[in-house]
């Protein structure tokens, strides 16, 4: 199994080889993806910025996600994850983005969205990809799995 540091290194090598800049838009991970990326020396060559948009208001203000879209789908939804990735690219100098929004726990579950529910968004080129998963474990485990899955998803999309 790849460590987060190994995954972040591979993401950086791939982005650098393609001449692309990355932005992150994070809610439930609270900057964990950006932290993993900036653990890599030289990441300034391929990492532009990170948005930590924990509140709905910050999603609206920093990523241009409408209050109506949040009200329609809920902050933890594939629609919002996709909009977060798109907003990160639109509001930065980046070419590529990854986003996360979820319920890390221990509270916060709602009907249909148990603790561990995480929605992902990736913006690569002119396409947006989303995914919803439910992770097991405590808050730290859910967040760690989310960071790892975000990086693996990005690597897969960059390879396509």
What average pLDDT does the chain have? 96
- pLDDT above 70 (res 118): yes
Task: Say yes or no to pLDDT of 91 above 90.
Answer: yes
* Side-chain half-sphere exposure of 82, counting CA atoms within 13 A: 12
* CA separation for the pair 153, 160 (Å, rounded): 11
Phi first, then psi, for residue 156 (nearest 5°) are: -60, -45
- Please report the domains of the chain, with CATH numbers, ordered by start residue: 4-159 (3.90.950.20)
pLDDT beyond 60 at 1: no
Give the separation between CA 107 and CA 55, rounded to whole angstroms: 16
pLDDT score at 2: 67
pLDDT, average across residues 110-115:
93
pLDDT band at 122; cut points 50, 70, 90: very high
Specify the pLDDT at position 84. Answer: 98
Q: 160: pLDDT confidence band, cut at 50, 70 and 90?
A: confident
Residue 83 pLDDT exceeds 90: yes
Please tell me whether the overall predicted TM-score, pTM, comes out greater than 0.95 for this model: yes
Closest C-alpha among 1, 79, 69, 3 to residue 40 = 3
Is pLDDT above 70 for 95?
yes
pLDDT digits (tens, 9 = 90+) for 22-59: 999 999 999 999 999 999 999 999 999 999 999 999 99
Helix (H) or strand (E) holding 119: strand 117-124
Q: Where are the alpha helices (DSSP H) in the chain?
A: 4-18, 32-38, 56-63, 67-73, 78-90, 139-159
Does residue 79 surpass a pLDDT of 80? yes
Q: Between the CA of residue 8 and those of 49, 61, 70, 93, what are the distances in Å? A: 15, 28, 30, 20
């Amino acid at each position: 199994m790849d460590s987060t540091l190994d995954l972040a290194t591979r993401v950086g090598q791939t982005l650098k080889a393609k001449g692309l800049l990355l932005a992150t838009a994070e809610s439930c991970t609270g900057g964990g993806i950006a932290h993993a990326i900036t653990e890599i020396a030289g990441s300034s060559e391929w990492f532009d910025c990170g948005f930590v948009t924990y509140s709905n208001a910050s999603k609206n203000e920093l990523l241009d996600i409408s209050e109506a879209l949040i009200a329609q789908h809920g902050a933890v939804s594939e629609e919002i994850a996709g909009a977060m990735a798109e907003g990160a690219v639109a509001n930065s100098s980046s070419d590529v983005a990854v986003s996360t929004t979820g319920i890390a726990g221990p509270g916060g579950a709602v009907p249909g969205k148990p603790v561990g529910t995480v929605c992902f968004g990736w913006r690569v080129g002119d396409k947006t990809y989303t995914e919803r998963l439910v992770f097991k474990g405590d808050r730290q485990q859910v967040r760690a799995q989310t960071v790892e899955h975000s990086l693996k998803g990005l690597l897969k999309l960059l390879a396509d």
